[in-house]
Amino acid sequence: MIDTHAARQRPMGRSAHVGVLGLLLFATTGVACGLQAHPGAPVGTGGSGGLSDGAGGRSSSSGGQASSNGGDQSGGSAGQSAGGMGGESSGGSGGRTTGNGGQAGGSAGGGPSTGGLTTSSGGSATGAGGTVGSGGSAVGAGGAGSSGSGGASGAGITINGKFVPKEKAVVIIHFGHSNMRGQASTPTSLRSYFYDTVDGLWSYKGSFALAKEPTAPEGTLTLAGPGMAMLHSARAAVASTSDVQFISVGYGQGSVTTVDYQKAGTYYPIFMGWAGRLKGNVTFGAIVIMLGITDGEHLAASLVPAFPDRVAQIVSDIRADLGEPNLPVLFCDYEQGATGSLAPTGTVGQLMMPLIRSLPGKISNLKLVPTDNIEMADDHHFDMQGHKDWGARVISLMQSNNWFPWK
C-alpha cells in the first residue's frame, strides 16, 4: 500500500511537475474524436482574419485566433484556432451564437484532431432577456444544465464515431488531492467495477477513451479513486435505455492544497484546459472537489484561515471560464474516518472541519458530500468500497437538489 502522505512531504517543485504533466498530456491516448455541431459540419482553420470587434459584439473573422506551436497543453503544428465561417460572434438581441466553424483543433496537436471543435450556426443562443431560449443550454436556478425550451441546441460532440448532442454529453469535472487521484486497491472483489470499461462512460483528457481508473491520474500510479464510482452512479440514475453519455474530466495530485489549484497555480490550467476544449459542445453537470485535509496538514498556519476564500475563488474562476455561473459544486466533507493525527478530533481535523463546513454558506449551489461510515484504506484514504459509496452520495445529492435532470 502506497501512502503519499506517509512521509508528510510537500509535492514536487513546479519544474518537476511540468515534466510529469507534460508526459501525461502527450501520452494520453484514447478513442479519437471530433467535436462538432452535427455530422459533416465543416472544420474551421486558422487564417489571416485575426480578432475584430464587429457590430454584433465580438467576432472572429475568417481565421480567427490561432495558437501556434503547441496549442493548449499539447504540442502540434497547428495548435488551436478559431475559424470557419464566422468564428465566434455576438449575435442577435444580446445573444451569443457560435458561427459555422467555431473552434478547431489543429492537425497535429492543440485540440482534438479528428474534426476539431465546431459549433454550428445554431450554437448556443441567449435571448434578449439574458436567459437561454429555444435551442440553447441553460443553467437554471437549481444549478444543473438542461436544454432550453426548444430542446436540442444543434451543438454536440463526436465520440467513437458517433455524434452525441450537447444535452446528452454530460461532463463531471473532478479534482483534488490524493484521495481524488485514488489510493485504493482493495477489496479486490470491486476491481471490475473500477477497471472494466462500460460503453457510455468516458474519460476526456484531450481525446476520449472509455473510462476506467485512474480517472484522475498522477504520473504512472494506477490506484482507484472516486471517478468511476461517480460515472457508474450517474449511469444507474438514468433509464437502462438512456443514450446519455457521462464523461469524466479529472485530475488529482498527492499532498496538494487549494493554493496549488488556484487559477494561477500549477494544476488549474491542466484540468480546465481539457474542460475548455469541450465548452459549448457538452453539458457540464457538476464540479466535484476533494480538498481540505491537505491545507491543514501542509500549509503554513498563516495561510489556512483563507481556505474558504480560496475555494470560493477557484469555483468562481471555473464557472466564469465555462460560462456556467450556477454550476453545482459537490465538496468532500472532512474525512470522518481519518485516524491518528488526521482524525476529526486531531489538530488538523479541528482546524479544517469548521472551515470546510462554512463553504455552503459562502458559495452558491455547493453541498458537502458526507464521509461518515466510509470504509478506509489507511489513515485518511478511502478504499474501493469507500469510493463506491462516496460516489453514489455525490449523484444522490445532485438528484435531491434537482441538479440531475437526465433520464
Amino acid present at 198? V
The pLDDT profile of the chain, 407 residues, written as one tens digit per residue, is 334 443 344 444 333 343 433 333 333 434 434 444 433 333 333 333 333 333 333 333 333 333 333 333 333 333 333 333 333 333 333 333 333 333 333 333 333 333 333 333 333 333 333 333 333 333 333 334 443 333 578 999 999 999 999 999 999 999 999 999 999 999 999 999 999 999 999 999 999 999 999 999 999 999 999 999 999 999 999 999 999 999 999 999 999 999 999 999 999 999 999 999 999 999 999 999 999 999 999 999 999 999 999 999 999 999 999 999 999 999 999 999 999 999 999 999 999 999 999 999 999 999 999 999 999 999 999 999 999 999 999 999 999 999 999 99
H/E element holding 297? helix 293-298
H/E element holding 389? helix 384-400
pLDDT of residue 152: 76
Phi, psi (deg, nearest 5) at residue 190: -100, 5
Read off the C-alpha cell for 406: 437526465
Please provide the size of the chain in residues. Answer: 407
Contact 221, 181 (CB under 8 A): yes
pLDDT of residue 151: 55
Tell if the pTM clears 0.85, that is, is over it. no
* Neighbour count for residue 52 (Cβ, 10 Å): 11
Q: Which domains are assigned to the chain?
A: 33-130 (no CATH), 166-400 (3.40.50.1110)
| Cα dihedral sign, 405-359-203-41 | positive
- Give the position of cell 479534482: 175
DSSP 226-294: SHHHHHHHHHHTS-TT---EEEEEEEE-TT--TTTTSTTSSSHHHHHHHHHHHTTTSEEEEEEEE-SHH
